[in-house]
Amino acid sequence: MLYNERAEFILQQLQLQSTVKVSELSRQLQVSVDTVRRDLKTMEQGGQIRCVRGGACLPESRVSFSNFTGGEIIHSDLKREAARKALTYIKENDVVAMNSGTTNTILAQELANAGLRCTVVTNNYAAIPALMQAPGVRVIAVGGTVDTQERSTYGTLCEEMFSRFYPDVALLSINAVNYKDGYTDFRMDETGVIRLLAAQAKQVVAVMDSSKLGQRSKCRVLAADQVDLLVMDDHVPPEVRDKYRTKGITIL
């Protein structure tokens, strides 16, 4: 197996889990430990991975811990592609719950352009201006403690208001996923909202761009079986989708 083929395999493994081990890669690739180490060092020099003790992970630049304070939204083109796919799970007159996050803000823009009639219940105040431009969308803004960075609300009051609704679909913007750890996020204040919406909704759809795949963030929020569908852009290889499906995560 040539270096390029080994490098592609390593990157594919990192889409499945947050880290890879030298010993495991040596066994899977049927090459020596020294060969794997050299491959990892070459890939690190090229900015593809970051070497850690005994293995490697994706570099921090690949992890989209983004909010609204950094100006341009990271991976906005991939987020928009995923958002457009997610719209197909909203039916006429549905009650839709949306949490905070840049992906759901873009989804709100796409929803406003789609001409659908529905009710959106959300704590995402960055999404509300776009939703207000859609005459067919009834917007219910959920109050609570204000997060100025995320432009959203959170806390006891926020969760109490969300708990009054049983949405037809919850569209969840989550920060990271891999098949071992499930769904994780760095926003500690948002975890209660995500868990509540997953418990209340008839259908739970996570909407994420493909840069989030194989990542692990700061806090576990949902197990794989608590999400019905994971909607991403089309930059996920078929073999990776198949592997996730065997682990109970359906990527569309």
The answer to whether residues 67 and 102 touch, using CB atoms and an 8 Å cutoff, is yes
More confident residue, 124 or 14: 124
The answer to whether residues 227 and 198 touch, using CB atoms and an 8 Å cutoff, is yes
d(CA 89, CA 82): 12
pLDDT tens by residue, 9-60: 888 777 667 688 999 899 889 899 999 999 999 988 888 888 988 999 877 6
**pTM score, two decimals?**
0.74
What phi-psi label fits residue 151: left (phi over 0), alpha (psi between -120 and 50 degrees) or beta?
left
The answer to whether residues 99 and 122 touch, using CB atoms and an 8 Å cutoff, is yes
Q: What is the largest CA-CA distance in the chain?
A: 63
More confident residue, 27 or 99: 99
* pLDDT given for residue 219 in this prediction: 92
Confidence of residue 107 (pLDDT cuts 50, 70, 90): very high
**pLDDT, averaged across the chain:** 89
Strand partners, 184: 176, 220
* Rounded-to-10 torsion of CA 28, 182, 51, 36: 0
Section 68-96 average pLDDT: 83
Q: First-to-last CA distance in the chain? A: 31
Confidence of residue 77 (pLDDT cuts 50, 70, 90): confident
The answer to whether residues 25 and 10 touch, using CB atoms and an 8 Å cutoff, is yes
One-letter identity of residue 230:
L
pLDDT tens by residue, 171-192: 999 999 998 899 999 999 999 9
Question: How many CA atoms lie less than 13 Å away from 94 in the CB half-sphere?
Answer: 20
Section 127-139 average pLDDT: 92
